[in-house]
């Protein structure tokens, strides 16, 4: 597991049914591209988050493939419609096989 990886998510606590809400996510990660060399001229191995997904009550909302050009601490912001109360599940997949998860519940007024 890469060092200092910490997911952060911001989802409103409640929304009206059918409302579009803004979700912000950020994961702290060094996102080493695999293109850089160290002081000895050796290539620093690639270590990035390569996929990010968000599901709502088991249904997929967004599925992103992340490439090495994305910088440190990848930040995703997107809008989603909330038809019912439920739980957003966020998943980040690391190159080294680690999976980072976070969930946020939302109620419908």
Partner 1 sequence: MRLTKISAMAFAALIAGAGVATADESAELSIEGKTIPTRAEAPAYLENIDEVISGWVYRSDETQTLQADDFDNPAFVFVDTGADLFAEADGSAGKSCKDCHENVEDFAGLTTTLPRVNEAGELETLTDLVNECRTERMGAEPWKYSGTQMTAVTALIGLQSRGMPVNVAVDGPAAPFWEKGKELYYTRVGQLDLACANCHEDNYGNMIRADRLSQGQINGFPTYRLKNAKLNSVHGRFKGCMTNVRATPYKEGSDEFEALELYVASRGNGLAIETPSVRN
By CB under 8 A, name the binding residues for partner 1.
Answer: 4, 6, 8, 10, 20, 24, 26, 28, 31, 56, 59, 61-62, 64, 70-83
What 3-state DSSP class applies to 26?
strand
CB of 56 to partner 1, least distance (A): 6
Q: How far apart are CA 72 and CA 48, in angstroms?
A: 9
Residue 3 CB neighbour total at 10 angstroms: 7
Report in angstroms how near the CB of residue 19 gets to partner 1 at its nearest: 11
State the distance between the two ends of the chain, measured CA to CA, in whole angstroms.
40
Q: Which is nearer to partner 1, 10 or 99 (CB)?
A: 10
- Count CB neighbours of 99 within 10 A: 10
**Closest to partner 1 by CB, 45 or 72:** 72
Six-digit token string for 8: 């952060």
The nearest distance, CB 28 to partner 1, in angstroms, is 5
Nearest distance in Å: CB 31, partner 1: 8
Judged by beta carbon, residue 38 or residue 70, the one nearer partner 1 is 70
Residue 73: both structure tokens together: 């601490």
């Amino acid at each position: 597991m890469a060092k200092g990886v910490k997911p952060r998510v911001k989802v409103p606590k409640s929304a009206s049914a059918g409302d579009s809400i803004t979700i912000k996510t950020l994961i702290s990660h060094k996102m080493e591209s695999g293109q850089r060399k160290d002081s000895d001229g050796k290539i620093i191995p690639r270590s990035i988050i390569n996929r990010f997904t968000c599901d709502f009550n088991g249904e997929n909302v967004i599925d992103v493939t992340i490439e090495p050009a994305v910088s440190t601490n990848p930040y995703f912001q997107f809008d989603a419609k909330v038809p019912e109360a439920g739980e957003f599940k966020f998943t980040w997949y690391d190159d080294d096989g680690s999976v980072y998860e976070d969930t946020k519940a939302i109620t419908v007024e």
